[in-house]
Amino acid sequence: MEILEQFLRHPDYKTLTVKRFDANPDVLDGFLKGSYASENQILREHPDALRLVEYYDDLEICAGLSSYASGKSKLGAF
């Protein structure tokens, strides 16, 4: 939460996060062009709202050279 607060306080955060270039409006190349965003009432009323995407993945913390070590050193990351 502290990192998010610092990010939002940065004077240039909007220029770092907002994609202003739209090469082809017919190509689905971002979240805002999708059906969920276009049908969401909150996003329609507040088009400049900060949208956070949560992502989870498992990862190995060491380079496994054999199948013996595979899966024993996994971490979950958001």
pLDDT of 64: 58
pLDDT of 18: 62
Residue 6 lies in domain:
2-77
**Tokens coding 7:** 């990010």
pLDDT of 30: 76
pLDDT of 63: 63
| Strand-strand pairing, 57-60 and 74-77 | antiparallel
Is the CB of residue 50 less than 8 Å from the CB of residue 17? yes
20-71: pLDDT as tens digits: 566 777 888 777 788 888 898 988 898 778 777 777 888 877 765 665 556 6
Q: How many domains does the chain have?
A: 1
Other Cβ atoms within 10 Å of 60 Cβ, number: 13
Q: Is 5 left (phi over 0), alpha (psi -120 to 50) or beta?
A: alpha
**Which residue's structure tokens are 């088009």?**
47
